[in-house]
Amino acid sequence: MFRRECTACIKYRICNDSTIELYVFNEEHNHALVNKANRNLLIQNRQINLYDMHFINNMATTNVGPVKAFRLMTSIRGGYELGGANENDYKNFNKDMNSHIKGSDAHLVVTKLENRFEHVENFSFEHSSTKDHLDGMFWADETAKINYKEFGDVVSFDATFRTNKYRMVFAPFTGVDNHRRCVSFGAGLLCHEDEESYVWLLQRFLNAFGKQPTLVLTDQDGAMKNAIARVFPMSKHRLCMWHITQKLPVKVASEFPNYDTFKQRFSDIIWDSSIDIEEFEQRWGALFKDYKMTDNNWFKDMYKIRERWIPAYFKHIPMSGLMRTTSRSESQNSTFNQATHFGSPLVYFMMSYEMLMERQRHKQNVNDHKDRVTTVRIETDLLIEEHAREIYACFPINSIIEEGVEISTLVETNKSKRSAPVEILNEDGEKELDWNIPRTTSTYTVLSCCIFIHFVIMCIYASMHLCIYMFLYL
């Protein structure tokens, strides 16, 4: 229903002396006026403002749509009657934004990164395109390069995320920092998952960082394997166990009813970093014999490449805490999937990525701050624990203290003999180990668990050797 021929109006004009003259004022309406409680519903009071625009845009980077964004803003303002724009206004603005992006999505992203490359110091960006079609791009900023310099010995390279409406593959390069938290070294987007595309991306990575990683962890992609061999010939290549174990239900769950029991035994074997090759072979053979799985083709194939994913075969390779890649890959998958949407434009995807990097670096800064201002309480009088407190970050030192408590008593040591019988008592005073340590400088002890090599944290046995050596010789 339209209101017609309402004569209510106000007219004014600006005079020559810059004064304003009101020359018409008619307050008679031929309709009922909007009551005070509903004035916020008038069109002139529902104009979406700049703050609303920024809010809608920021919510989109966290995978929050316009309807939920409107409800959040209503809650922030304290009620619907205090709001400006309504739910439809939010949806219309979001639609207008997507329409604007639609025709130049890739161009907007490339232009933004090119400008950053020209004006931001030590920022790397390269892209590849054919006939105005974006085939791939790689970017890394100065912070990523600093992180790679400090923590880039082991890199996890995962190209399994399809987080935009063009189905481009998102390939982040991830490592572990001194707080044992994931840290990003840069990322890429690819249209194709073939060998040449991976070669292009890895070469861009090498151009930006200047050195090959010591070890690269990936999934079972054959094209990726070949690309790594071509671009990183000096790097060792191992498979991510998370991607392998994710296939287990599909490969074997339908073959026997007691799948959960089998899965538990299987996990106990493949994740046990303390066993050697001989024990692994024995336990693997016994498992598949017990469950009559010796003819399963998938397990046969995985057994053939066991040197590339079973920890027993590369115990002496430093892994910087990335050996148990389950938590790392699962964490990264969860983080990116929660923050992005499959149908998102590239512009929104890049905004989401930058928001995630800001969050990651903020947490890293918080952890660094805690290290600077926090002194970890030690639990024993062992010198090794005091030394560890000086060189380790707060989080790893907690693991060392747990081990240190277990070796808090060293008794019956006789320096006059060529050997030192040592009883190791746990925190409950019960005898745990009874060793006889030779007092000779030619003795070299190899610790088979290799926890220090994998996680850069001394296990109980390494701690005992070091404490006994210090007691006997220093």
Rounded to an integer, the average pLDDT of 284-309 is: 85
> Is 322 a residue whose pLDDT tops 90?
no
Beta strands in 254-399 (DSSP E): none
Q: How far apart are CA 368 and CA 108, in angstroms?
A: 35
* pTM metric for this prediction: 0.71
Mean of all residue pLDDT scores within the chain: 75
Task: Give the burial class of 44: count Cβ atoms within 10 A of its Cβ; 0-12 exposed, 13-18 middle, 19 or more buried.
Answer: exposed
> Which string of DSSP letters, residue by residue, matches 388-455?
HHHHS-HHHHHHHHHHHHHT-EEE---TTSSEEEEEEE-TTS-EEEEEEEE--TT-----TT-HHHHH
Q: How far apart are CA 191 and CA 196, in angstroms?
A: 11
SS3 124: strand
Instruction: Give the rounded distance of the alpha carbon of 287 from its chain centre.
Output: 34
Rounded to an integer, the average pLDDT of 34-59 is: 74
Instruction: Give the rounded distance of the alpha carbon of 473 from its chain centre.
Output: 45
Q: Which residue has the higher pLDDT, 347 or 466?
A: 347
SS3 9: strand
For residue 171, which phi and psi values (nearest 5 degrees)?
-125, 90
Rounded to an integer, the average pLDDT of 294-305 is: 85
pLDDT band of residue 333 (cuts 50, 70, 90) is: low
Q: What is the pLDDT of residue 441?
A: 43
**Mean pLDDT lowest among 115-124, 211-220, 295-304, 429-438:** 429-438
Q: What is the pLDDT of residue 350?
A: 85
> Is 209 a residue whose pLDDT tops 90?
yes
Q: Which residue has the higher pLDDT, 176 or 458?
A: 176
Q: What is the pLDDT of residue 211?
A: 92
174 contacts 158 by C-beta, under 8 angstroms: yes
Percentage of the residues of the chain whose pLDDT score is greater than 70: 67
Q: 433-451, pLDDT tens digit by residue?
A: 555 545 444 444 444 555 5
For residue 137, how many C-alpha atoms fall within 13 Å in the half-sphere facing its CB?
A: 22
Q: What is the pLDDT of residue 207?
A: 94
* Domain spans of the chain, in order of start: 9-102, 106-244+316-365, 383-473
Q: What is the pLDDT of residue 114?
A: 93
Q: How far apart are CA 172 and CA 106, in angstroms?
A: 19
- The winner for highest mean pLDDT among 15-24, 40-49, 341-350 is 15-24
> Is 461 a residue whose pLDDT tops 90?
no
C-beta neighbour count of 8 within 10 angstroms: 12
Q: 384-397, pLDDT tens digit by residue?
A: 667 777 766 655 55
pLDDT band of residue 31 (cuts 50, 70, 90) is: confident
Domain 106-244+316-365 listed as CATH 2.60.40 = no
Amino acid identity of 152?
G
pLDDT band of residue 256 (cuts 50, 70, 90) is: low
Task: Give the burial class of 105: count Cβ atoms within 10 A of its Cβ; 0-12 exposed, 13-18 middle, 19 or more buried.
Answer: buried
Q: Closest Cα partner for 1 from 42, 40, 31, 43?
A: 31
Rounded to an integer, the average pLDDT of 90-112 is: 76
412 contacts 472 by C-beta, under 8 angstroms: no
For residue 26, how many C-alpha atoms fall within 13 Å in the half-sphere facing its CB?
A: 10
User: Which residues make Cβ contacts (< 8 Å) with residue 464, sequence separation at least 6?
Assistant: 407, 422, 424, 433, 435
> Is 131 a residue whose pLDDT tops 70?
yes
